[in-house]
């Protein structure tokens, strides 16, 4: 039958079901095929905090949202245009996010009395009229998948597991997505069990053919490729981009990279990815705990490597004594904190920005470190490079604050030219530097205030190292009050001496009176909200902090240029407190800790209200 095709400029699709329904895989495959077509995109995976959440319950719902468009976009979308709900729990937990008129594809086979009662439905929402404001598409996904796989020697349970591929095939048909890449992926994934590969491919094609032949889906949609800068792109998550940035830092510095890590959500994928790149001089060590991981990384730095340790908030808290030791030893150490909702175990699979205060102050004594934060999944690559540059140049620990949204989210990444990346070459101390032919391990570079980096075993450069306070210059143990005061101030001055780019402001007409300042993953929703406001004639300025310690030298000047400064954060106002204390600027905080990123619509409303009241 002939089907109508409609052109769209953007679409937001959310796949939702039990954590065992394969929603993350489904969303990832749809995203990969979308990236191949050249659309700009942004994704938001969202899954239960429990490894085995109860099936069919609201806490057990797993979802994957993808926003793709024919122009550049900044967020995974505020609200889905299409919801694929694999069971009643998926429908109920996501229904409030849908705008009126949104399309809902439901798996009718799962809307049994037991499943409905489990999530508090007294009657089926498919029959009681409560979904009249939406475009409801009822599809028997499970039973049709089982029928499509009758020729395969599979149990019913094994056949039912392929229903996510049937759904993927159907939605791929609806939005003109190819499926060849997914076919290849399935054949590789199930290479050890060819019958499962063939069955999943059959389910995928059955879903596509269902869309092609059924009268229930009379319209296909097409979103043309985005006009992006020329070059080679790949879809990438924040964790993988960060891992690649660390590999690139090793290549550009000529130093081996050592990762000491203990598995923790949502940082573990960095360890998994780096373990694949031994040929680039990367060594990965899965330690017995967080403390050992940090100690091993610091030991590697002492030995002349780029020492890295990765974790999330709870693990970074355990590493704090080792980070303090790195401050005292004045050795490079990159500490990656992929932030998640806390405190304690909190909501380990949900995102948050609440570790800034810990990064700034979460150590004993005066122990300042450099802090940077990426703004998008692909920017994690460049943030990792920058963290390594600062660490090896200034001989200091650097905290890199990513978060769960960036770590698991994805977007197209324009592959850089290697020659365009920073040269991170390091000169190790090679000969004594003292006036009498001795080695002074704490004699400093006059510009960076960094001490020499002497690899153990270098003849003539033997020196004492440890956590006790050192005498400036010689590094001998010192209990002298004046020396301690001097060393504390020198270590603080070394952080302030770090060269960072100035804070850039996006203020197209140059006469906005309100500045919106963000850091980390708030960049996307802030940028999208500012775009919308400017299109409506509202004057608004935007700036985004990558370097949080030290702050850019022009930060105060930028803040004082505007009548009002709004700072959205996924915490209770940690950056706002810093800027108020340091610059006496009455920043207006907009704060939420829901485990989810901001939507651009809510920020747009907040900003517009501030502009009206200036």
Average pLDDT over residues 200-214: 96
Residue 86 in contact with residue 13, Cβ under 8 Å? Answer: no
Query: Alpha-carbon distance 410 to 31, whole Å?
Result: 9
The DSSP secondary-structure symbol of 207 reads H
- Tell me what pLDDT residue 191 has: 94
Asked whether the predicted pLDDT for residue 166 surpasses 80, the reply is yes
Q: Would you give the DSSP letter of residue 82?
A: E
pLDDT (0 to 100) of residue 50: 80
The chain-wide mean pLDDT, for the chain, equals 96
Assign 399 to helix, strand or coil: strand
What is the rounded distance in angstroms from the CA atom of residue 224 to the CA atom of residue 71? 9
Angle at 45 (CA atoms; ends 225, 210), nearest 5 degrees: 60
pLDDT digits 0-9 by tens, 327-377: 999 999 999 999 999 999 999 999 999 999 999 999 999 999 999 999 999
What SS3 string covers 536-577?
CCCCCEEEEECEEECCCCCHHHHHHCCCEEEEEECCCCHHHH
Alpha-helical (H) ranges within 395-522 are 404-408, 481-496
Give the residues across from 5 on adjacent strands: 220
* 62-84 exposure pattern, b = at least 16 Cβ within 10 A, e = fewer: bbbbbbbbbeebbbbbbebbbbb
What three-state secondary structure class fits 608?
A: helix
Spatial separation of the C-alpha atoms in residues 556 and 579, rounded to whole Å: 9
Share of the chain above pLDDT 70, in %: 100
Distance CA 612, CA 614 (A): 6
The first and second tokens of residue 104, run together, are 């809902």
β strands within 204-252, DSSP E: 219-223, 233-237
pLDDT for the residue numbered 1: 63
Model confidence over 441-493: pLDDT tens digits? 999 999 999 999 999 999 999 988 899 999 999 999 999 999 999 999 999 99
Dist CA 318 CA 29 (whole Å): 37
Q: Which of 163, 144, 209 is nearest to 18 (CA)?
A: 163
CA–CA gap between residue 22 and residue 372 (Å, rounded): 34
Contact 67, 14 (CB under 8 A): no
Do the strands 333-339 and 397-403 form a parallel or antiparallel pair, or are they unpaired?
parallel
Per-residue pLDDT at 3: 79
Residue 472 phi/psi, 5° resolution? Answer: -55, 135
CB neighbours of residue 157 within 10 Å: 8
Q: Match 């979103």 to its residue by tokens.
A: 223
Q: Determine the pLDDT at residue 571.
A: 98
- Give pLDDT tens digits for 388-409: 999 999 999 999 999 999 999 9
pLDDT of the residue at 2: 74
Is residue 434 pLDDT above 80, yes or no?
yes
Q: What angle separates helix 180-189 from helix 163-174, to the nearest 10 degrees?
A: 160
497 contacts 547 by C-beta, under 8 angstroms: no
- CA 479 to CA 375: how far, in whole Å? 43
CA 585 to CA 560: how far, in whole Å?
8
Measured distance CA(314)–CA(344) in Å, rounded: 6
Does 64 or 20 have the greater pLDDT score? 64
Q: How far apart are CA 531 and CA 539, in angstroms?
A: 10
DSSP 8-class letter at 225: P
SS (H, E, C) 266-304: CCHHHHHHHCCCHHHCEEEEECCCHHHHHHHHHHHHHCC
Kindly calculate the radius of gyration of the chain based on its CA atoms and give it in whole angstroms.
Answer: 27
Q: CB within 8 A of 374, min separation 6: which ones? A: 238, 242, 380, 382, 383, 400, 402, 406, 520, 521, 546
Which candidate, 506, 514, 490, 387, places its Cα nearest to that of 442?
Answer: 490
- Beta strand ranges found along 363-418 (DSSP E): 370-372, 397-403, 410-414
Q: What is the mean pLDDT of residues 132-155?
A: 95
Q: What local confidence, expressed as pLDDT, does residue 168 receive?
A: 98
Task: Answer for the pair 450, 330: CB distance below 8 angstroms, yes or no.
Answer: yes
pLDDT at position 465, please?
Answer: 87
3-state secondary structure 321-355: HHHHHHHHHCCCEEEEEEECECCCCCECCCCCCCC
> How many C-beta atoms lie closer than 10 Å to residue 462's C-beta?
12
C-alpha closest to that of 409 among 266, 594, 237, 570: 237
Contact 515, 562 (CB under 8 A): yes
What single-letter DSSP state applies at residue 236? E
Which percentage of the chain shows pLDDT scores above 90?
A: 96
Query: Is the pLDDT assigned to residue 53 strictly greater than 90?
Result: no
CA angle 482, 485, 490 (to 5 degrees): 125
Query: How far is the C-alpha of 35 from the C-alpha of 32, rounded, in Å?
Result: 5
What would the mean pLDDT of 155-164 be, rounded to a whole number? 94
At 19, is the pLDDT very low, low, confident or very high (cuts 50, 70, 90)?
confident
What tens digit of pLDDT does each residue of 297-319 get?
A: 999 999 999 999 999 999 999 99
How far apart (Å, rounded) are the C-alpha atoms in residues 431 and 449?
Answer: 19
Which residues lie closer than 8 Å to 419 by C-beta, 6 or more apart? none
Q: Give the whole-angstrom CA distance, residue 273 versus residue 250.
A: 15
Specify the pLDDT at position 52: 75
171 with 141: CB under 8 angstroms?
Answer: no
CA distance 35 to 439: 55
Average pLDDT score over residue span 143-154: 95
Mean pLDDT, residues 273-283: 97
All structural domains of the chain, each given as residue ranges with its CATH number in brackets, are 4-223 (3.40.920.10), 234-420 (3.40.50.970), 427-499 (no CATH), 505-612 (3.40.50.920)
Environment class of residue 469 by beta-carbon count within 10 Å: exposed (0-12), middle (13-18) or buried (19+)? middle
Signed CA dihedral, 247, 253, 255, 258: sign only:
negative
> Does residue 515 contact residue 559 with C-beta atoms inside 8 Å?
yes
- pLDDT, average across residues 516-533: 98
């Amino acid at each position: 039958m002939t089907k109508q095709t409609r052109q769209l400029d953007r679409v937001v699709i959310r796949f939702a079901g039990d954590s065992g329904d394969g929603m993350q895989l489904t969303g990832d495959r749809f995203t990969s095929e979308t990236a191949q077509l050249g659309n700009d995109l942004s994704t938001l995976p969202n899954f239960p905090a429990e490894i085995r959440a109860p099936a069919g319950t609201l806490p057990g719902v797993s979802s994957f949202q993808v926003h793709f468009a024919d122009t550049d976009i900044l967020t995974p979308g505020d609200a889905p245009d299409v919801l694929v709900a694999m069971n009643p729990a998926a429908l109920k937990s996501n229904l409030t996010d849908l705008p009126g008129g949104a399309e809902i594809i439901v798996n009718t086979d799962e809307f049994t009395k037991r499943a409905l009662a489990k999530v508090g439905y007294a009657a089926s929402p498919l029959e009681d009229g409560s979904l009249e404001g939406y475009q409801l598409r009822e599809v028997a996904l499970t039973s049709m998948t089982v029928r499509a796989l009758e020729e395969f020697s599979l149990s019913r349970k094994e056949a039912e597991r392929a229903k996510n591929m049937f759904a993927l095939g159907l939605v791929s048909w609806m939005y003109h997505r190819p499926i060849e890449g997914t076919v290849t992926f399935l054949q590789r994934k199930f290479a050890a069990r060819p019958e499962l590969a063939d069955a999943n491919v059959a389910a995928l094609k059955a879903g596509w053919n269902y869309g092609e032949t059924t009268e229930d889906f009379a319209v296909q949609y097409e979103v043309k490729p985005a006009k992006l800068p020329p070059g080679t792109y790949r879809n990438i998550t924040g964790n993988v981009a960060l891992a690649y940035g660390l590999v690139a830092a090793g290549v550009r510095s000529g130093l081996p990279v050592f990762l000491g890590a203990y598995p923790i959500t949502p940082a573990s994928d960095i360890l998994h990815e780096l373990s694949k790149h031994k040929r680039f001089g990367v060594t990965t060590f899965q330690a017995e705990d967080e403390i050992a991981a940090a100690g091993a990384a610091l030991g590697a730095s002492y030995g002349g490597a780029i020492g890295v340790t990765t974790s999330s908030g709870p693990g970074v808290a355990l590493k704090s004594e080792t980070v303090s030791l790195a401050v005292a030893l004045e050795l490079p150490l990159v500490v990656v904190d992929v932030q998640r909702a806390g405190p304690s175990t909190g909501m380990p699979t949900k995102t948050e920005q609440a570790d800034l205060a810990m990064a700034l102050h979460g150590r004993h004594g005066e122990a300042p470190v450099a802090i940077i934060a990426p703004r998008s999944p692909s920017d994690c690559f460049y943030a990792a490079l920058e963290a390594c540059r600062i660490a090896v140049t200034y001989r200091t620990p650097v905290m890199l604050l990513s978060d769960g949204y960036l770590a698991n989210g994805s977007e197209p990444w324009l592959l850089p030219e290697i020659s365009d990346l920073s040269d991170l070459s390091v000169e190790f101390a090679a000969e004594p530097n003292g006036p009498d032919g001795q080695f002074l391990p704490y004699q400093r570079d006059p510009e960076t205030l960094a001490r020499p980096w002497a690899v153990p075993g270098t003849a003539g450069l033997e020196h004492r190292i440890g956590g006790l306070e050192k005498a400036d210059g010689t590094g001998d143990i010192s209990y002298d009050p004046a020396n301690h005061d001097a060393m504390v101030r020198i270590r603080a001055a070394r952080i302030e001496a770090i060269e960072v780019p100035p804070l850039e402001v996006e203020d197209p007409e140059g006469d906005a009176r309100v500045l919106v300042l963000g850091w980390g993953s708030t960049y996307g929703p802030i940028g999208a909200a500012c775009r919308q406001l400017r299109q409506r004639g509202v004057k608004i300025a935007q700036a985004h902090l990558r370097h949080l310690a030290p702050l850019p030298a022009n930060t105060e000047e930028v803040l004082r240029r505007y009548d009002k400064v709004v700072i959205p954060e996924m915490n209770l106002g940690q950056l706002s407190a810093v800027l108020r204390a340091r610059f006496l600027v009455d920043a207006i905080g907009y704060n939420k800790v829901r485990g989810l990123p901001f939507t651009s619509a809510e920020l747009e409303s907040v900003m517009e209200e501030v502009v009206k009241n200036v």
